[in-house]
Amino acid sequence: MEALLVKLIAVIYLLAAAGYFYFVFRRDTTSRLPALALLIGFLLHTAVLMARFITEGFAGVALMGEALLFKSWLMVGLYLSIQLKYRLTVLGGIIAPLAFLMCLAAFAYDRTGAEIPPGLESAWLPVHVTLAFLGNAVFALAFGVSLIYLLQERHLKHKKMTALMKRFPSLESLDHLNYVLLVWGFPLMTLGILTGSIWAGIHWGYYWSWEPRQIASGIAWLFYGMILHGRITAGLRGKKAALLTMFGFCVVLGYFLWGDTIFPSRHGGRFQ
Amino acid sequence: MKTPTVRFHAASGVANDESTVQKEIVIVGLNHRSAPIEVRESVAFENSDLRDALARLRSFPSIQEGVILSTCNRVEVVAAVADSPAASSDITVFLNEQKARRSPGALDEHVYSYQGVDAVRHLFRVAASLDSMVVGEPQILGQLKEYYDAAQQAGTVGTILHRLFHRSFSVAKRVRTETGIGSGAVSVSSVAVDLAKRIFDRFDDKTVMLIGAGKMGDLMARHLQGHGVRSLMVTNRSFDRAVELAERIQGSPIRFEDFPQYLKMADLVIGCTGAPEVLVDAAQVDKVLRERKHRPMFFIDISDRRNFDAKINDLDNVYLYNIDDLKSVADENLQGRANQADKAESIVQDEVQSFIRWVGSLEQVPTITALRQRFDEIRRRELEKSLGGGLKELTAQQRGSLEDMTTAMINKMLHEPISQLKSNSEDQGEALLYVAALKKLFGLEGK
């Protein structure tokens, strides 16, 4: 039953994605339908996660498949909250397909009865995981915003005015949003890493173990820190900032998807 | 193909009209395609003359209602008339008289005339800006409304033109919202503003620097001001000219030797001097950007020679458009509008059909009402007679039942003919035939 629901959620996100693309390329439509579809998908998504949480506890979000479900939920939720303040309908055209892919992957990944190994059950798990995932979700949005920025910038530089551009917000507001997301995402990521380290210290005895996961997170953290610093002091903005932000997220994403296969460790999907 | 005639019965609001006079719509005039500007100017009506002109128009016996439209691109008379051919020639005479005041010569080769469905279509097209010099321009609708209002105040608008014009306003609105006909800037100034909007979120905290005193630059600066820019700097080789222009547009004058130092304060820089040498080069802009912490800059080069080094566009966070770039965007948008025009034409066609149907259906209403009234009169009279005579022993309740029965009977008898009448509104000719037949057969004439 639940598998069916997850599939349904994925389909709804796919419809929303299609709706957004249609909206972006045609003039005589509103974005209300895809936005509504996204909201409905999100509500269903929330219900499934809550049910999961009630029956399985936090284990329901820790393993690979569930993690994708949780992450995509955070991402969509964040996008919908941002929509309240910044009108970024076009970003929906990036978030919705991402959410669709993540839910599809969540469905496809092997999910045996998830159980957290004893000893790992502590309050640190949900705190660390949520903070880390939230940070990721923020950077996922920053990725989307940067992508749109780059598209718009390219059109302007190459002197091509297409109807598509009318749907995009101005470069200034995109850049500003990127900055805001970075300002929120970086502390979240920092706290995510800190809580993870503290928990590791408590549970295994050492805070930093040069695990691939920690290293990758560290690299990403330094990267984003660099961007934030550059923004504040050296006027790093616009195209360069957008490219770096996108690259940073690719690192995060890349590790999340393949890191465990390339670098198996205690972290991620297998708790040993 | 024979154009079907459109006739309207009208309970006219104009005092000395007979209520069952059949009327048609006629439009006679000239526009930017049929007449050169000198001819148009010689026929144009001044706003101060309008009231008198409308009164003169109404004094022609063939013309019951009239609106005069006089803009720089067209002079047209829209009228509701009893006899189309007579009215057409009367209006032509009227326009010739107007012209004769200014210059001799006849208008006949420049004047066109539309009648009936064609007139309706023409007015809808004009309102939707399909007949304008620049398709999709937004002024024509406002102008149409103004001239309609003037005619209404002068008392020359009756129910026909009232319905026609109001419908044309909503057709115009529909065309604008459902097609891209008005979208995409088609003038160099508005293209520049559009581009600026893609770069900047708001204008009220931005500064514009205007280099040179060219007319185009002045226009563009004003355009930007209209969109919220409050801070303007003006510089020119001649400081006096700069001061003069700055005063006019409420900006600050800067001495020409000093302007490079002020560049870092400018978000938009407009270049419109006739100078043969480049005023700002890429290296300069690179430095300025650093001083500005890379806040974006938009350079607009509308001079004949290049005021700004083309390599400026290669820098990050800077955008440079020259006049050719702006023109090509404008041309693309114009093309886009032309493509949307087809869609607009089919909307207009739809609306013409539905207007004809709607007017046709309105014709039925007085007749249907009169028919119901006639039947009800007969019912009541007969009922009174019987209740006073042979049925006077009936109780109140029984009288009530009788009342109900007779009413129900009448309704059921009328139901079929009336719904047949209504459902026939597709073919206006037939529908009017039935209406006329009903009136004749039941002696409803004069109601």
pLDDT at B264: 92
Answer whether B116 touches A (CB < 8 Å).
Answer: no
What proportion of chain B, given as a percentage, has pLDDT over 90?
A: 45
CA A87, CA A174: separation in Å to the nearest integer? 11
Asked whether B302 and B220 are in contact (CB, 8 A), the reply is yes
Whether residues A138 and A235 share a domain: the answer is: yes
What proportion of chain B, given as a percentage, has pLDDT over 70?
A: 92
The C-alpha torsion from B260 through B263 and B265 to B266, rounded to 10°, is: 150
Q: What tens digit of pLDDT does each residue of B82-102 get?
A: 888 999 999 998 999 888 877
Predicted confidence (pLDDT) at residue A267 exceeds the cutoff of 80: no
Whether residues A176 and B180 touch (CB distance < 8 A) is answered with no
* Strand (E) or helix (H) holding B210: strand B207-211
Whether residues A134 and A91 share a domain: the answer is: no
B272 catalytic residue (yes or no): no
Can you read off the two tokens belonging to residue B147? 């001239």
To test the contact with chain A by mutation, choose from B195, B268, B294 the residue with the greatest count of A C-beta atoms within 10 A, namely B294
Whether residues B369 and B239 share a domain: the answer is: no
Whether residues A104 and A181 share a domain: the answer is: no
Chain A CB contacts of B292 under 8 Å are 235
- Give mean pLDDT, residues A3-26: 84
Buried b (16+ CB within 10 A) or exposed e, B257-271: eebeebbbebbbbbb
Into how many domains does chain A fold? Answer: 2
Residue B54, C-beta contacts closer than 8 angstroms, at least 6 positions apart? B66, B67, B68, B150, B151, B154, B156
Asked whether B383 and B404 are in contact (CB, 8 A), the reply is no
Domain-ending residue, one of B306, B329, B352: B329
Asked whether A175 and A238 are in contact (CB, 8 A), the reply is yes
- Give mean pLDDT, residues B377-384: 91
Q: Which of A38-47, A166-175, B11-20, B219-228 has the lowest mean pLDDT?
A: B11-20
Q: How far apart are the first and last CA of chain A?
A: 30
To test the contact with chain B by mutation, choose from A156, A160, A240 the residue with the greatest count of B C-beta atoms within 10 A, namely A156
- Tell whether pTM > 0.90: no
Chain B CB contacts of A238 under 8 Å are 294, 296, 316-317
Three-state SS at B212: coil
Whether residues B50 and B142 share a domain: the answer is: yes
Does residue B355 sit within a domain? no
How does residue A261 score in pLDDT terms, banded at 50, 70 and 90? Answer: low
Q: What tens digit of pLDDT does each residue of B42-91 get?
A: 899 999 989 999 999 999 988 999 999 999 899 999 999 888 899 999 99
Which has the higher per-residue pLDDT, B120 or B214?
A: B120
CA A202, CA A218: separation in Å to the nearest integer? 20
Residue B246, C-beta contacts closer than 8 angstroms, at least 6 positions apart? B232, B234, B252, B253
**Of the candidates B92, B46, B54, B97, the residue with the CA atom closest to the CA atom of residue B72:** B46
Whether residues A127 and A64 share a domain: the answer is: no
Domain-ending residue, one of B143, B178, B213: B178
pLDDT at B305: 80
Whether residues B104 and B46 share a domain: the answer is: yes
Predicted confidence (pLDDT) at residue B22 exceeds the cutoff of 60: no
Characterise A111 by phi-psi region: left (phi > 0), alpha (psi -120 to 50), beta (else): beta
Whether residues A83 and A169 share a domain: the answer is: no
Predicted confidence (pLDDT) at residue B141 exceeds the cutoff of 90: yes
Whether residues B156 and B211 share a domain: the answer is: no
Compute CA distances A203 → A121, B71, B372, whole Å. 10, 84, 92
Answer whether A222 touches B (CB < 8 Å).
Answer: no
* Strand (E) or helix (H) holding A141: helix A124-157
CA A266, CA A272: separation in Å to the nearest integer? 6
pLDDT at B52: 92
pLDDT at B267: 94
Whether residues B205 and B285 share a domain: the answer is: yes
- Give mean pLDDT, residues A99-112: 76
Predicted confidence (pLDDT) at residue B12 exceeds the cutoff of 70: no
Whether residues B202 and B295 share a domain: the answer is: yes
Does residue B347 sit within a domain? no
Angle made by CA atoms B151, B157, B163, in degrees to the nearest 5: 120
Whether residues A1 and A42 share a domain: the answer is: yes
Whether residues A172 and A252 share a domain: the answer is: yes
How does residue A149 score in pLDDT terms, banded at 50, 70 and 90? Answer: very high
Residue B19, C-beta contacts closer than 8 angstroms, at least 6 positions apart? B9, B10, B11, B12
Whether residues B379 and B285 share a domain: the answer is: no
Predicted confidence (pLDDT) at residue A139 exceeds the cutoff of 70: yes
Does residue B354 sit within a domain? no
| Predicted complex: ipTM over 0.95 | no
Residue B5 carries which DSSP code? P
Does residue B350 sit within a domain? no
- Bridge partners (DSSP) of residue B24 are B81
Predicted confidence (pLDDT) at residue A190 exceeds the cutoff of 80: yes
Does residue B353 sit within a domain? no
Whether residues B199 and B324 share a domain: the answer is: yes
Answer whether B258 touches A (CB < 8 Å).
Answer: no
Q: What tens digit of pLDDT does each residue of B225-244 get?
A: 889 998 999 999 889 989 99
Alpha helix ranges (H) inside B207-302? 215-226, 239-249, 259-262, 282-291
- Count of Cβ atoms closer than 10 Å to residue B236 Cβ: 25
Does residue B334 sit within a domain? no
Q: Which domain holds residue B192?
A: 188-329
Longest dimension (CA), chain A: 61
Distance from CA of B262 to the nearest CA of A (A): 19
Three-state SS at B33: coil
Whether residues A203 and A224 share a domain: the answer is: yes
Amino acid (1-letter code) at residue A245: T
Whether residues A137 and A269 share a domain: the answer is: yes
pLDDT at B275: 79
Answer whether A156 touches B (CB < 8 Å).
Answer: yes
Whether residues A111 and A154 share a domain: the answer is: no
Does residue B335 sit within a domain? no
- Bridge partners (DSSP) of residue B253 are B234
pLDDT at B318: 94
**Of the candidates B314, B430, B290, B298, the residue with the CA atom closest to the CA atom of residue B364:** B430
How does residue A64 score in pLDDT terms, banded at 50, 70 and 90? Answer: low
- Give mean pLDDT, residues A225-241: 87
Phi, psi of A248 (to 5 degrees): -55, -45
Does residue B183 sit within a domain? no
Domain-ending residue, one of A115, A143, A167: A115
Give the CATH number for residue B216.
3.40.50.720
Whether residues A164 and A53 share a domain: the answer is: no
pLDDT at A272: 29
Whether residues B292 and B379 share a domain: the answer is: no
pLDDT at B185: 82
CB-nearest to A170 from B183, B197, B290 is B197
pLDDT at B155: 92
CA B272, CA B215: separation in Å to the nearest integer? 8
Average per-residue pLDDT in chain B? 86
Asked whether B168 and B230 are in contact (CB, 8 A), the reply is no
- Give mean pLDDT, residues A148-160: 88
**Of the candidates B291, B341, B300, B296, the residue with the CA atom closest to the CA atom of residue B320:** B300
Q: At what angle do helices A89-108 and A32-56 cross, to 10 degrees?
A: 40
Q: Which of B72, B133, B378, B405 is catalytic?
A: B72
Into how many domains does chain B fold? Answer: 3
Whether residues B57 and B83 share a domain: the answer is: yes
Whether residues B125 and B43 share a domain: the answer is: yes
Predicted confidence (pLDDT) at residue A113 exceeds the cutoff of 50: yes
Asked whether A248 and A216 are in contact (CB, 8 A), the reply is no
Average per-residue pLDDT in chain A? 80
pLDDT at A62: 59
Q: Which of A199-213, B97-111, B255-269, B388-402 has the highest mean pLDDT?
A: B255-269
Q: Which domain holds residue A64?
A: 1-115
Which residues 316-345 on chain B approach chain A with CB closer than 8 angstroms?
316-317, 319, 321, 325, 328-329, 332-333, 336
**Of the candidates B264, B197, B151, the residue with the CA atom closest to the CA atom of residue A170:** B197
Whether residues A97 and A131 share a domain: the answer is: no
